[in-house]
Structure 1
Amino acid sequence: MARVSLRNMNKFFRLTVLVAALLGLGDVNMSRAASIDDSAPPKSGEVLNFALLDHRGRMHELRRIGGKAVVVFFTANECPIARQSASKLRKLREAFSERGVSVFMVNSSLADDRKSISQEMSELGAWHLPVLKDDTQGVARHLGVKRTGETMAISTKDWTIFYRGAIDDQMVEGAQKPQPTERYLENALNDFLDTKPVRLAKTVPRGCVIQFDGGEGPDLAPVSYAKDAAPVLQRKCVQCHSAGNIGSWAMNSHQKVKGMAAMIEEVLLARRMPPWNADPAIGKFSNDASLSVTEAQTLLRWVHQG
Structure 2
Amino acid sequence: MAKIVICSDKEDDVKVMISALRHEEHQVIFCDTTSSDYNENYLSTFDLIMDHRNSNEAKKGNPIKKSLDKGIPVLAGSPIYAGSGQGAAVRSLGISKDITYDISDMHRIINNADVISGNYHGNFPVYDRKIYGFRWCIYYIYHDSITSANMTPLLIRNFYAGSDRLTVLCATFRKGDLNLYGEPFAADCAYLGLPFNIALTNEGMNIFNDVIFWLLNKTYIPAKVKDQDGTLLPSHEVYLYSRKSGDLIAKHTSDEHGEVVFRVRNKFNYFAVAFYKNGGVKNAVAIDNILA
More strand as a share of residues = 2
Q: Common fold, TM-score beyond 0.5? A: no
Larger radius of gyration: 1
- Tell which has more relative contact order, 1 or 2 (C-alpha 8 A, sep 6+): 1
Output the TM-score relative to the length of structure 2: 0.29
More helix as a share of residues = 1
Output the TM-score relative to the length of structure 1: 0.28
